[in-house]
Structure 1
């Protein structure tokens, strides 16, 4: 028997160190060639590290959340034959597919020894957990369960380590269960449990980028109210006429089009600021980042060359990228290179928000929810569909007057939608 040592691979692009995000194996596990051993996080993407050999795991080189240098020992595997222990100076090559996803299992640390538990009783999509037991689930799944009126502790999880997924909620509903099936007493039981979650992987990268953006850029926000009645009527008409053949349109492709047209007069918004070199780069190409919430956190896939896309082309690309991001299949290139960002919380958009810049960009346009309100139009009180745009800018680069005029230009385009297509 021998030992095969796998070192932290050189992922390229001058990266000297990466973060170990998650182990998929533990000491004592038998592994086969091409089995994924671990996930490591670079600045932009998660990389799977596969095993080049069959064997038994005898040592792990680090803990999740640890930053490891390229070339350091990642894992040791006992193999048949001599192994490579004496000749493993070169890092193992990377053959894994990169996927921008964070660890699928949150690290849970109890503040005191847990009381012995009986094994959960499962029946179909239902599982009986103790009242103080917190099942593994992403924030999006917890929100979905709340919206459906489902007590998450009653749902059987099919994900890693029993993690509850969206499809588990659907299976639970399909089985005819409801919130009323839970014992009433359990809802009022005292709870003393605590949960600690390591900030690692994608969540750490998001935290670092948000902190960096707020510390480096001089943020200021501008909010404007927009009457979207006309453009919503146009959207409904186009969907009725062309939805079956070309696909349904949301408001987002109209907003992308409005950005493209408005940027012709405000090129300073479609820019990147290198604050170390003190250089502003204005770009002709409009690469719109569309902030997308996934189970692992906020991602910003990029609609490239939005200036050359039709409404349906933009809609299809937005949908494709959002699906890829949520499924953890968006590539590194699809998650980088934006020149201006559009962010929306959809129906949860609230009245006002203060979005954080996506550095090194200098502008981000935030979309709030649409509400029907009485408005005075030509002396008459009428019901109109109203929406706020809550946008943020880097005051080091963008003057307040220019920001206001830019959003006013977008407002004019959306309130008179024909102007979106007049050249």
Structure 2
């Protein structure tokens, strides 16, 4: 027998350490060659570690959430024969078949939870999200409640004509909302003690006493992987960027009518939502406001203004908020944008988005769809300097000028559009001017298709 130390390979340029997101093995488990060992997260991607040898796992480097340095021992495997220990860690790629890069989501392609046994460090809930496995964690599959003091006699059968009980017991049961046919008792009739036992242990039968607490057990969830990365990025954005938010109301009645007409004649093309049309408007107006399509390196004191629009699209996933990027959005028509939105959103949700599809954005759009609310104050995706947030469409009466003069009250579809900007780079006047230009284009939607 021999011991093989699997050292964490160099999994990215400039990366000095990686975070353990999840274990696929536990101490004592048998692992085959190329079998899954762990998911490790860097700043750019989650990488699945695979075993270069077959054997029994005897040591693990830590728990989910711990950081492991490049070159440090990640797993020790006891093998049946002698194996050659690599002199130094290899880079992930074609030269190292022992590891395979996967999507950035920490739950990407994960199907099986870690196997039980000594060395299990975490339990996994639905979707693979790690849950802290401390003694305070309450299993959701606990055995039915039982107490030796509870009466063991069978409950009266539902088909019996009546239950024997004193008037006082019947009155108390009525006040408590208890069906006496469901109360277990070991005597000829139901007593107050049987009601007391039912109140104490009746939850196993689905009974909840009036005014009983609906509170669930407390749960401690370790913040690791993608959730921790999101927390760090949001905290850094709020800590370093002086945000300001500007909100404007826009009439989208004509835009929605045009969208309905386009969808009616779309053929095999994807159905248009408002988002692709909004992105077209954003791309058409940005050339006149280059300070918004930019990234600010505050350490170097340099602002880079981009000629192309690489538009980040905030997407909610089981792992948390992810921002896939639509490359060169300015060169796409609404249907191409719709197809790319669908593709990137699905890749993010299923954890199959590539690292290059999750970085390099120049401006971001975030939308909660029908949950959009009245107004939002979105947080900038650092180092970008602006983020745009359309809110929910509402119908309200508005005054509108008559062609022949005067005004009339009509029903209109309105939306509030929010924009948050980095005040170090973008002045309030510039942000307001940009949104007003965006408003003019959206309220005259035929201009979206004009050369």
* TM, length-normalised to structure 2: 0.76
Aligned residues: 360
Aligned residues of 1:36 and 1:49 also touching (Cα < 8 A): yes
Q: 2:252 maps to which residue?
A: 228
Whether 1:384 and 2:412 are equivalent positions in the alignment is yes
Whether 1:209 and 2:233 are equivalent positions in the alignment is yes
Paired residue secondary structure (2:373)? coil
Shift in CA distance, 120/47, structure 1 to aligned 2, threshold 3 Å = farther
Report the Cα offset of residue 102 of structure 1: 2.1
Q: 1:193 maps to which residue?
A: 217
Whether 1:267 and 2:295 are equivalent positions in the alignment is no
CA deviation vs aligned residue, 1:245-275 (integer Å, no higher than 9, x gap): 1110111111110110110211111111111
Distance across 1 between alignment mates of 2:10 and 2:209: 51
Distance across 1 between alignment mates of 2:434 and 2:12: 40
Q: 1:345 maps to which residue?
A: 368
Q: 1:60 maps to which residue?
A: 60
Distance across 1 between alignment mates of 2:239 and 2:336: 37
Aligned residues of 2:129 and 2:319 also touching (Cα < 8 A): no
Distance across 2 between alignment mates of 1:100 and 1:398: 31
Distance across 1 between alignment mates of 2:206 and 2:265: 50
Paired residue secondary structure (2:268)? helix
Report the Cα offset of residue 114 of structure 1: 5.6
Aligned residues of 1:21 and 1:64 also touching (Cα < 8 A): yes
Report the Cα offset of residue 189 of structure 1: 5.1
Distance across 2 between alignment mates of 1:247 and 1:311: 10
Trace 1:237-256 onto structure 2 (pairs within 5 A): 237-242=261-266, 244-256=267-279
Select which of 387, 391, 395 maps to 2:423.
395
Q: 1:319 maps to which residue?
A: 342
Q: CA RMSD in A?
A: 2.1
Aligned residues of 1:109 and 1:195 also touching (Cα < 8 A): no
Shift >6 Å, 4+ stretches: none
Q: 2:103 maps to which residue?
A: 99
Select which of 57, 78, 88 maps to 1:90.
88
Report the Cα offset of residue 67 of structure 1: 1.2
Aligned residues of 1:6 and 1:92 also touching (Cα < 8 A): no
Report the Cα offset of residue 190 of structure 1: 4.6
Distance across 2 between alignment mates of 1:203 and 1:192: 23
Aligned residues of 1:111 and 1:194 also touching (Cα < 8 A): no
Q: Point out where structure 1 has 5 or more consecutive residues left out of the alignment.
A: 122-181
Aligned residues of 1:110 and 1:195 also touching (Cα < 8 A): no
